Structure 1
């Protein structure tokens, strides 16, 4: 499950959305949403996908501006949640590379071995304690046809989002 009950509740509260509204949007009862948040129930695959789409939307005008800048960028860039790796926004060039809509999708499953290795070093580098972190990462190829990553370098930049979560701006370096 992408969201634990606590994380789902936190996201919902940060967005100012009532359980009843989430329930209405997903076609379930308010009691079902409450049970998800307490961990009594687990959302079905279809419901998880709907939750991912719902919470992939920007939470504020500032986040919407970041999303708009990424989505209109002429660079190969995308924005993910730094914790869950969910895709929050992608530039047209990046979307063309991937050839499919991945908004709200956790992207770590597509990572190359080099990216996975770089990710494993972040804690030791203090990435999660310095809110202005940036890092150049060698990508290495992931040998996938569906969401290809070629060998190269990207810049990871950690940026705060309005809901107190952190985003990671990923820009391909030429």
Structure 2
């Protein structure tokens, strides 16, 4: 299938994905995605195949369902890309805690010391090899006013996304 620049942009916007995230997933720059969308540049054959996988309707339906469940959950929960830590979805309770819109933002810069320590241990725990798919983490406070993290426990759950990346569902416990 061939996507025109306008069609590519429409698909990306319908799915709520930023150009920078598509660029990250495809290993190109954000400027390249912009040039594809304006028709100034055409993706190479392997890039077109990657775009088709990224925007394939059946896979999108599963991600849309996950996003909808997160965004309508009464729990304090959010979903990030496990690799880039970009925010993919957040529940109303979680969004209320944060003082600004965070969708598409890399969240690791707001991590508390406890979260950073837990992140550093993931490789040894087999997180990236699929040996461990859930983990309870003691957060500790981050001292940040606009995106506060309070001391407490969260459950990290690793889930596959349609683009081949892994997501991390983060749920506050208690």
Is this a same-fold pair by TM over 0.5?
yes
1:30 aligns with 2:41: yes
1:156 maps to which residue? 156
Q: Is the 8 Å Cα contact of residues 131 and 158 (structure 1) preserved in structure 2?
A: no
Partner-residue secondary structure (3-state), 2:127: coil
CA apart distance, 1:163: 1.1
CA apart distance, 1:164: 1.0
The gaps in structure 1 that reach 5 residues or longer are 12-18, 38-54
100 and 130 in structure 1: CA distance in 2 versus 1, 3 angstrom threshold: same
For this pair of structures, how many residues does the alignment match? 141
For the aligned residue pairs, the C-alpha RMSD in angstroms reads: 3.0
131 and 68 in structure 1: CA distance in 2 versus 1, 3 angstrom threshold: farther
Which aligned segments of 4 or more residues in structure 1 are displaced greater than 3 angstroms? 2-5
2:16 maps to which residue? none
Distance 1:24 1:158 in 2: 32
Distance 1:60 1:84 in 2: 19
Q: Is the 8 Å Cα contact of residues 63 and 162 (structure 1) preserved in structure 2?
A: yes
CA apart distance, 1:9: 2.4
2:26 maps to which residue? 9
The gaps in structure 2 that reach 5 residues or longer are 1-19, 48-54
Q: Is the 8 Å Cα contact of residues 153 and 172 (structure 1) preserved in structure 2?
A: yes
